[in-house]
Amino acid sequence: MAPEEIVRAEMAAWGRNDVDAVVCHFAENANLHAGPYAPVLGHDAIRKSVDGYLSRGTCVDHEILFIATVGDVVPMERIDHWIIDGKTLAIPHMGICEVTDQKITAWREYFTPSVDS
């Protein structure tokens, strides 16, 4: 799969709230840095982080507004839709994924967390 297809598959896995499918798109030594939170490195830490996000609420959809591919880099603007404590939240994001050998090796997110999340 091409880098953009990998990233789209990753977004779809989040929408299914499938931790295993989310983690399978990452390289073993990947770096995930989600906005204001500390970076996490490697499969085990990424799994723990993803599990933490999904245990707090239900991801309904990652609405992709813009996506492009520049070599192995995929910039993406999107709105993440969640249900947390019965409330629907829409959180704008800007992210950059780096893909090598069909695995995400780095993912940097830029967003402001909701005061309710």
User: What architecture does CATH give domain 3-100?
Assistant: Roll (3.10)
| Closest to 25 (Cα-Cα) out of 41, 7, 40, 42 | 7
Question: 10 Å Cβ neighbour count for 20?
Answer: 9
Domain ranges of the chain: 3-100
Q: Average of pLDDT values for 69-98? A: 94
Q: What are phi and psi of 88, to 5 degrees?
A: -90, 125
pLDDT digits (tens, 9 = 90+) for 102-116: 999 999 999 877 644
Q: Residue 101 gets which letter from DSSP?
A: T
pLDDT digits (tens, 9 = 90+) for 17-28: 999 999 999 999
